[in-house]
Amino acid sequence: MNINIQEIVDNKIKSLNDDGTIKNAIEKTIETTMLKSITDALGDYSLRRSIQDQVEKEVSAVVKGIGFTAYNSFIAEKVKQITEEVCRQDIAQKIQEVFNNILVIKRESAKLSEICKAYRDWICEEVEESEKYSLERFHVSIEEKEYPYDWLTFKFDKEKSSRYRSDSDEAIEFTVHRNYKDKNMGTIGTLYIGGYSTDKTLCFRNMSKIEALLLNFKYNNTPIEIDIESEDDIDNSFDVDI
């Protein structure tokens, strides 16, 4: 028996063509290939970065248009809605109060001496009387980094720590970056509370007044007058008679 392979193939191709199978297969293959090409192109870093930059530009324009304080108010309202839905009323009110103190209430400017005094007022309330007598003074240090950084690092703690960065509950560390046009003014850069960077960790716990104050200045990019540059300019005594 002779089998004509070519005839069988030709007949099958004709059959597949007549019922649209070949057409559908070609269309599906083209579609799959095109979608994969688009996906691969979108996965390219340069294109993703370009899209990201464009989104950031558009969002920044919106924020600039409505004003940063108004934008904070919008966020605060969203926080209020979320917390009211999932928290007890007293907890929700506490979170909203802290959030408003940090972001919504914006200051035009502040002084370093004001921050130092705020820390002293807080630490004097925080430390027991007997411990104040034994310590006499709380720890303060100022380190200046000049070219190419040009910033001041302030460290406050109940007592001096042997660690590079103290993680005690009373430890606060922040940098003030000088304005390149006016060296007597600056803004808060990094801020560490209890050893943790506020850029990475922010906990709405029982936040102290000094913590809320510094976070407010940091997030609102508040201009800070540098009226203190030496540890001798800071009163680090506890409020007791020694």
Q: What is the pLDDT, as a whole number, of residue 52?
A: 62
**Residue 242, in any domain of the structure:** no
Question: Can you read off the two tokens belonging to residue 121?
Answer: 């007022």
**Residue 241, in any domain of the structure:** no
Question: What's the domain range around 194?
Answer: 110-233
Task: Indicate whether 183 and 146 sit together in one domain.
Answer: yes
Task: Indicate whether 190 and 140 sit together in one domain.
Answer: yes
Q: What is the pLDDT, as a whole number, of residue 180?
A: 85
Cα 26 to Cα 12, 23, 65: the distances in Å are: 16, 5, 50
Spatial separation of the C-alpha atoms in residues 133 and 13, rounded to whole Å? 99
The larger pLDDT score, comparing residue 25 to residue 53, is at 25
**Residue 239, in any domain of the structure:** no
Task: Indicate whether 123 and 229 sit together in one domain.
Answer: yes
Task: Indicate whether 211 and 140 sit together in one domain.
Answer: yes
pTM: 0.60
Task: Indicate whether 13 and 75 sit together in one domain.
Answer: no
Look at the chain and report how many structural domains it folds into.
Answer: 3
pLDDT of 242 over the 80 cut: no
Could you report the per-residue pLDDT of 178-224, keeping only the tens digit for each?
A: 998 898 999 999 999 999 888 876 665 567 889 888 988 988 889 99
- Among the ranges 47-56, 63-72, 100-109, 176-185, which has the highest mean pLDDT value? 176-185
pLDDT of 84 over the 80 cut: no
Closest CA to 72 of 41, 49, 29, 105: 105
**Residue 49, in any domain of the structure:** yes
What average pLDDT score do residues 56-74 get? 57
Task: Indicate whether 38 and 52 sit together in one domain.
Answer: no
- Domain end (from 67, 89, 104): 104
**Residue 226, in any domain of the structure:** yes
Q: Are 184 and 226 in contact (CB under 8 A)?
A: yes
Where is 17: in which H helix or E strand? helix 5-18
